[in-house]
Structure 1
């Protein structure tokens, strides 16, 4: 009886498929490795760099230009004074007190508002010389401009504890032709007033 020769493993279908898969995997790995080393891009480094810088440049440009554009838009939209801050002159006497409540005008600023009016902001310090909490809020203040009394924009509503102080901003939106105004401070026992001068930039 003749001996059967063992079938060569490479000659079987599974063997061929396995060998093909191994070759494809090896070639793919080689190509990926060469690609990461930059072998295929060696002929065009300048184009690659230009492309990268071209992509980054618009982003950087947009980041730089956008705030400027926004500021310019805000300035033109705000109307008078082109968005520049106006000068506000405060009175010599800036502290006003009645009983245990005292208000001090710390600073003032004015600039055109988006509505074409002027936003006049006063920073005040409220000092409570009493023992109990005191309400420091917008309703205490009024601004007289050209014979018209304006209430402040909502926003300030704080409690000041006894024997302590707290600062806050009071903002009025008034006509753009304002040149002087009278700040009225209302106390339980009456009211005090402070005259302000406003001039465009």
Structure 2
């Protein structure tokens, strides 16, 4: 009687499946490890380095290394060095009324304009004491400088309901040497005036 040889464990089907699973697991783990080490990004080193250096550099993220960025933040408004707000002296009486319409000067500011002129902005409150809507617009105001009458820049055009108030800004572009100006407020029955004095800082 011939001697039976023991079956090899690798020759059985379960053994083959177990070996294949072990190989697949080992290869997968190896690929994952190589991916985490960045070995598969070897074809894109320049792009990765550029983005990393841009994110890590404070100068690149804030724009401080660019000469134009610092210049724009140091002098907002106009491009000149004399861009600080000028002083505007208002009269003691700032409320003007005719019939049911009343205007009050709330504030005034002036600064050199980019064109070399002066931009004067008046903040006014219009109060409608009547029953019907009232047009609150820039055509109501004029500014006299050296005998010349200036109209405001377009922009203000509002409706003020009856028995209510609304505020708005009126902007004038004036010659650079303007120091004294006379504000004219036109009513249906006539007009009122207010003397303004502009002083450089």
In structure 2, do the counterparts of structure 1 residues 27 and 105 end up closer, same or farther at CA, with 3 Å as the change threshold? same
Aligned to 2:155: 155
**Distance change in 2, residues 1:116/1:99 (3 Å):** same
Structure 1 residue 52: deviation in Å?
Answer: 6.8
Structure 2 equivalent of residue 70 of structure 1: 72
Q: Does 1:166 align with 2:162?
A: no
1:55: which partner in 2?
54
* 1:194 corresponding residue in structure 2: 194
Question: Could you tell me how far 1:59 is from its partner in structure 2?
Answer: 3.1
The Cα shift of 1:71 comes to 3.6
How far off is 1:33 after superposition? 3.4
Q: Check conservation: 1:75, 1:82, Cα contact below 8 A.
A: no
Q: Hey, what's the Cα distance between the residues in 2 that align with 1:152 and 1:60?
A: 42
- Paired residues for 1:1-201 under 5 Å: 27=27, 30-36=30-36, 38=37, 54-56=53-55, 57=57, 58-62=59-63, 68-72=70-74, 77=79, 79=80, 82-201=82-201
Deviation, structure 1 residue 26: 6.5
Alpha carbons of 1:108 and 1:76: their partners in 2 closer, same or farther (altered >3 Å)? closer
TM-score (norm 2): 0.73
CA distance in structure 2 between the aligned counterparts of 1:132 and 1:64, rounded to whole angstroms: 59
- Cα–Cα, structure 1 residues 84 and 97, in superposed 2: closer, same or farther, change >3 Å? same
Gaps of 5+ in 2: 1-19, 40-48
CA RMSD of aligned residues (A): 2.9
Supply the distance in 1 between the matched residues of 2:133 and 2:127 (Cα, whole angstroms).
11
Unaligned runs of 5+ in 1: 1-18, 41-49
Decide whether the 8 Å contact of 2:78 with 2:112 is kept in 1. no
Partner SS, residue 103 of structure 1: strand
Answer yes or no: is the 8 Å Cα contact 1:120–1:172 preserved in 2: yes
Match of 1:44 in 2: none
Which one has a larger percent helix, Structure 1 or Structure 2? 1
Whole-angstrom distance in 2 between the partners of 1:68 and 1:130? 53
Say whether the 8 Å CA contact 1:139–1:151 is kept in structure 2.
yes
Residues 103 and 117 (structure 1), Cα distance of their counterparts in 2 relative to 1, 3 Å cut: same
Q: Distance in 1 between matches of 2:90 and 2:33?
A: 74
